[in-house]
Amino acid sequence: MTTTTMELSATAEKRQRISYGMTLLVAGLLIFLLFGLNTQAGVNTTFGLNVAGSQAVEVADFVVPAQLTVNLMAAIAVFAGAYQLARGVRSTGWLLGILAFTFVAAFLTWAAQDKSFNLTGMLGSSLVRATPIALAALCGVISERSAVINIGIEGIMLMAAQTAVVTATVSGSLYVGLLGAILVGALVAGFHAFLVIRFKVDQTVSSVAINIFGTGFTSFISSRFLQKATDTLNNSGTFPIISVPGLSKIPVLGPVLFENNIIIYLMVLLVVVMHIMLFYTPWGLRTRAVGEHPKAADTLGVNVYLVRYVNVIIGGMIAGLGGAYFTLGSVGRFDEIMTAGKGFIGLAAMIFGKWNPIGAFTSSLIFGFADSLQVKLQILRVPIPSEFLLMAPYIVTMIILTGVVGRAIPPAADGQPYEK
Amino acid sequence: MTNVLELRGITKRFPGVIANENVDITLREGKILALLGENGAGKTTLMNILYGLYKPDEGHISVRGKQVEIHGPNDAIAQGIGMVHQHFMLVPVMTVTENVMLGIEPTKNGLFLDKEKVAKRIREISDQYGLEVDPHAYIKDLPVGIQQRVEIIKVLYRQADILILDEPTAVLTPQEVEGLFKIIDTLIKSGKSIIFITHKLKEVLAVADDITVLRLGKVVGSIDPKEATTEILASMMVGRDVSLVVEKQPAKTGEPVLVVENLLVRDERQHVTVRGVSFEVRKGEVLGVAGVQGNGQTELVYALTGLLPLEDGTIRLLGEPIRHTTPREILERGVAHIPEDRQRHGLILSFPIHDNMMLCTYYKNPFAKGISLQEKSIFSNAEELVKQYDVRTPNIYVNAGTLSGGNQQKVIVAREFSRPIELLIASQPTRGLDVGSIEYIHKQIIKKRDEGAGVLVVSSELDEILALSDRIAVMYKGQIMDILDADKASKEQLGLLMAGVQLSDKQKMK
């Protein structure tokens, strides 16, 4: 339009190009200084590709010369940074991908030098650890897409986890426990919906109350009853691993994707179903319209309140499933505050995933990866204090929330009560 | 000829107010009924009743001779009633197709949205009524004129044959208004009936077959447009004779008060909204800034009053530059500001009138001494101003929020004019006001001009700009397209400039 506009956008572009290029250069240098100089010459790093007890066909482990690999990664990062500075690549996704890959690969090669590191096992446990985060994120997505904020997912998951283990132990059926968890999720979320839709209670206040109540209530029940009667109330067992016939035999992919328990399969299914529902069905169109411009939906005869009730309650059921994962899907008993902030990390994954089911799932995987990496590194006895390693998932949360990938835009009416 | 729609004895009470009282309205088939009334006359309430968004306390509605109950938009749509709302009811991040299908989505296999079917239907409607629009465009990328077409398509897609257009011209350029009138013409020819709600008198005379005037919730009367004139309509609306022409002498201009050069401003979201604007305002003249809303006028005024920082360029007020100058310093140099949004920026609604009357000088004599406020002089100041500026209020102790829009604006004018000023910046000074208040505010602005102040009036109402200005600057996408002398400018020229079209020399000669 005018010279000024073009100049302005040109400077912004230049600034971005330089900052991405510099980041990559610095990352390359860091890789060399931190890992390259500390890697012994002549030793190998072994990446294990087989998981013990898996049905998958065995393949040879992946062995690389440690120092060479680390320095190669540093070189790739530096080269990519230099290329970016000189030429400028438009796709920031590629740059971030190169940054993450080189750094993580160099880090792992350094950490596991002269040792063996089970890559397949870690990828598998990334998915497992991502499961409750992804379920929490999906709960957030479906609820906030209809413009109801629910940060009470943590509390809902705790209550659901406890209900699941108790009903499963008492009834003797894991599926009854699962149903109980989903029901509790629906009830608590329904209560939240009732408060914020019918009485227009502040959505944050209401859901914080759910968190406080959930923590207090489950801890009370746990210390008052469960710990005294572990065998009769708090010992449910866990869902068995279901191997998908045929597919589970694929090396690497098989053990990661096709040897899991029912909750993990359900989670992946939910991601796909929710994506389709949200973007290709009337229900999804109405949900998105209600989240963006409820008045417009109302004038076209869409029942704004009904859509919000339904979505928040379905969200609660998904969070309930996430809660059940902690007990029925993982350890088979309830411990106080066992969710450990996964509900909140799920919300971070929702934001990072830009309120899309698939985005939320992908970012949950990143958090799951950080979490499982931390465990593996402790086993490898990396010279980093374990307290720092335990922080990894939370640090990743903060870095992502402070906006590595630009500003995510929430649904326009998010958090606002609707007045006719 | 049959009546497609009859409203009989409609009464709607809200706590403390009667929005509609025993209103009768008749819409003839294939005709345009103009519903005329000032803001707050109850037009929108009445239409919301018709559309099922409100429930009337008394009265009934008949469609094609049959009495009907309308409990919600779905019932209205089922009766063939469609509404184009004043504030568009479109979801900006969705496509035209998605917006049109929302609420009655056709599906494939009973589950998945059938967008192609809807897009095809939209193209058919576009062709039939001359409503050109790309079904796959996102609403946020479309100009308001096109967005309005989408609203009309939404209504036609639902097979409405009674269309309610609520203030449809408020956001359009004069050329877009012409386009809308053509569309209305096509609609009528294909057998639709239309209720056209407005407070603009000239539009009513241009399109209406019947005119019904509302005042204070009641029907004042109906009139045949052939017998009506703008003067008759105005006095029906207001209830007394009003002068629609601002009488003013030719300007006696002096030296420049405000000189702006190459001004560049970013809004709060860091978008450049004012790019390279230059102009000057002289003593004793009114410079009008015309333009469709959202073309940088707001940010221009914010920059001039110190509410937004300058990115680049210079502003000189009485020869002194303004840069990193606080709003208070600017006010103290003799700038009066009538802000665009009087409820958010002009007044503190929950404060009594007497406090609102001294908001920009509360810290000075005689309102403050040391750390204490001087109630006596605050009260006497307010009493005096209320009398002088004819603010209709029970007393000076009620909250500003309880006043009508016109009286709220008078409070602001009284406060701003009660101190010595060199430059008056008035942004949308009469938006939403009744004809009587508009007349009053306009007179006050001209009075300030004649006292020798420089005046900058920003307005999206062309009639207002033409009535007040000595020179007219037109803003489009953050730039000033041109500055014309008011006595030589025509509405057509201004309309073209507002749409971003540079005038050729030939057009300038006209």
pLDDT at A145: 96
The set of residues, in sequence order, having a beta carbon less than 8 Å from that of B297 and lying 6+ positions away, is B289, B291, B427, B458, B460, B475
Between CA B510 and CA B503 the distance in angstroms is: 11
Residue with tokens 């009139």: B223
The answer as to whether B341 is a domain residue is no
User: A8, A279, A293: which to substitute to probe chain B, counting the most B Cβ within 10 Å?
Assistant: A293
Q: Which positions in chain A touch B477 (Cβ < 8 Å)?
A: 1
Average pLDDT rounded to a whole number, residues B442-462: 92
pLDDT at A3: 44
The answer as to whether B343 is a domain residue is no
Q: Is B85 on the interface with A (CB under 8 A)?
A: yes
One domain for residues B59 and B126: yes
- Given a cut of 90, whether residue B143 has pLDDT beyond it is no
Per-residue pLDDT tens for A33-49? Answer: 888 888 888 888 888 88
Q: Is A412 on the interface with B (CB under 8 A)?
A: yes
One domain for residues B224 and B369: no
Q: Which positions in chain A touch B102 (Cβ < 8 Å)?
A: 285-286, 289, 296-297, 300, 302
Per-residue pLDDT tens for B381-398? Answer: 999 999 998 888 888 999
One domain for residues B26 and B66: yes
The set of residues, in sequence order, having a beta carbon less than 8 Å from that of B189 and lying 6+ positions away, is none
pLDDT at B510: 47
- Count of CA atoms in the C-beta half-sphere (13 A) of B242: 23
- Mean pLDDT of chain A, nearest integer: 88
pLDDT at B2: 85
CA nearest to A295 within chain B:
B89
Looking at per-residue pLDDT, the higher value among A1 and B175 belongs to B175
Q: Is A288 on the interface with B (CB under 8 A)?
A: yes
One domain for residues B182 and B210: yes
Report how many domains make up chain B: 3
Each domain of chain A, given as residue ranges in start order, spans 3-114, 121-401
Distance from CA of A284 to the nearest CA of B (A): 9
pLDDT at B317: 92
pLDDT-derived band at B336, boundaries 50, 70, 90 = very high
Looking at per-residue pLDDT, the higher value among B464 and A94 belongs to B464
- CATH topology assigned to domain A121-401: ABC transporter involved in vitamin B12 uptake, BtuC (1.10.3470)
Is B508 in contact with B493 (CB distance < 8 Å)?
Answer: yes
Q: Is B205 on the interface with A (CB under 8 A)?
A: no
Sign of CA dihedral A93, A97, A100, A103: negative
The answer as to whether B470 is a domain residue is yes
Give the A window 221-280 contacts with B, CB below 8 Å.
280
Of B192, B223, B238, which one is at a domain's C-terminal end? B238
pLDDT-derived band at A254, boundaries 50, 70, 90 = confident
Of B238, B269, B296, which one is at a domain's C-terminal end? B238
Between CA A405 and CA A412 the distance in angstroms is: 20
pLDDT-derived band at A8, boundaries 50, 70, 90 = low
Structure tokens at B19: 């929005």
B51, B113, B272 ranked by CB distance to A282: nearest: B113
Count Cβ neighbours within 10 Å for each residue of B467-495 and write b for 16 or more, e otherwise: bbbbbbbbbbbbbbbbbbebeebeeebbb
One domain for residues B411 and B424: no
- Given a cut of 90, whether residue B315 has pLDDT beyond it is yes
Distance from CA of B500 to the nearest CA of A (A): 11
Q: Is B73 on the interface with A (CB under 8 A)?
A: yes
Residue with tokens 């502003």: B315
One domain for residues B411 and B427: no
- Given a cut of 50, whether residue B243 has pLDDT beyond it is yes
Considering only B72-86, B93-107, B428-442, which range has the smallest mean pLDDT? B428-442
Average pLDDT rounded to a whole number, residues A86-96: 73
Q: Is A296 on the interface with B (CB under 8 A)?
A: yes
Distance from CA of A179 to the nearest CA of B (A): 26
* Residue B193 phi, psi dihedral angles, 5° rounding: -115, 145
- Given a cut of 60, whether residue A403 has pLDDT beyond it is no
Average pLDDT rounded to a whole number, residues A293-303: 93
pTM: 0.80
Between CA B188 and CA B211 the distance in angstroms is: 16
Q: Is B93 on the interface with A (CB under 8 A)?
A: yes
One domain for residues B215 and B252: no
CA nearest to A419 within chain B:
B53
Per-residue pLDDT tens for A49-75? Answer: 888 878 888 888 888 898 899 999 999
Q: Is B477 on the interface with A (CB under 8 A)?
A: yes
> What range does the domain containing B378 cover?
350-419
Residue B462 is part of a domain; what is its CATH number? 3.40.50.300
The answer as to whether B342 is a domain residue is no
Q: What share of chain A is helix, strand, coil (3-state, %, to 5)?
A: 70, 5, 25
Per-residue pLDDT tens for A329-384? Answer: 999 999 999 999 999 999 999 988 889 999 999 999 988 988 888 888 888 877 77
One domain for residues B438 and B304: yes
One domain for residues B371 and B503: no
Query: What is A11-27 written as a DSSP string?
Result: HHHHHHHHHHHHHHHHH
The set of residues, in sequence order, having a beta carbon less than 8 Å from that of A45 and lying 6+ positions away, is A63, A64, A65, A66, A69, A108, A109, A112, A113, A114, A115, A117
Considering only B32-36, B313-317, B321-325, which range has the smallest mean pLDDT? B321-325
One domain for residues B259 and B157: no
Q: Count other C-beta atoms under 10 Å from residue A47's C-beta.
A: 18
Considering only A300-304, B169-173, B291-295, which range has the smallest mean pLDDT? B169-173
Distance from CA of B67 to the nearest CA of A (A): 21
CA nearest to A302 within chain B:
B103
One domain for residues B298 and B394: no
One domain for residues B268 and B357: no
CB pairs under 8 A between A and B: 79
- Given a cut of 90, whether residue B404 has pLDDT beyond it is no
Considering only A4-18, B434-448, B486-500, which range has the smallest mean pLDDT? A4-18
Average pLDDT rounded to a whole number, residues A107-134: 90
Structure tokens at B285: 């003249």
Average pLDDT rounded to a whole number, residues A107-132: 90
CB contact under 8 A, B102 and A300: yes
CB contact under 8 A, A288 and B94: yes
The answer as to whether B230 is a domain residue is yes
